[in-house]
Amino acid sequence: MKIANNILKYYLRNVLFITGTAYAGKSTMAAMLAEKYNLIHCGENYHASMPAEILTVEQQPNLCYFRIMKGWQEFVNRTPEVYCDWIEGGAREAAEIEIAELIHRSQGRKIVADTNIPLKDLAQIADYNQIAVMLSPQAMSVNYFFERDDPEKLFIKEQIMQAKEPEETMENFKA
């Protein structure tokens, strides 16, 4: 099934999208706007509200990656190209869930969404005044990735340090 963009645009008319690069302040901005204007706030990764058992490896291989990976060393030692493909594939798969979730949540209420829906897709399903793009230098996400007190990031750093060549693995992961 394919839903035409003009239909999606109609059903997403109550949604404000904030997208952009890591460390640009998207989550902070979305939370502040939601509070100030009494909007429903869809924070980062709101697609994760989809029950995991609904996702299939055949239809959402990137979102199911952690179910099928051989171990954390596989994850931290992937090439930058494989990692990039996974991120982009996951964004495409998550976009389908996010769009369905936003249509569901936005009926009769305004929403602000911190989203990873690709910008080329947002431009087709939302008006320009519904989209804000926030950018930060790429070096910020590389240099400060492990600086945040985030249990997931600390876990990944721990896995990197357990590698046979931790320095090499860290440089590969940063790349």
pLDDT tens digits, residue range 103-115? 999 988 999 999 9
Q: Which residue has the higher pLDDT, 134 or 45?
A: 134
The pLDDT score that the predictor gives to residue 51 is 82
b/e 66-77 (16+ beta carbons within 10 angstroms → b): eeeeeebeebbb
Please state the pTM of the whole predicted model.
Answer: 0.85
**CA atoms within 13 A of residue 39's CA, in its CB half-sphere:** 22
At 47, is the pLDDT very low, low, confident or very high (cuts 50, 70, 90)?
confident
At 44, is the pLDDT very low, low, confident or very high (cuts 50, 70, 90)?
confident
Please state, for a pLDDT cut of 70, what percent of the chain lies above it: 100
Average pLDDT, the chain: 92
Please state, for a pLDDT cut of 90, what percent of the chain lies above it: 78
Direct distance between the N- and C-terminal alpha carbons of the chain, in angstroms, rounded to an integer: 37
**CA atoms within 13 A of residue 69's CA, in its CB half-sphere:** 15
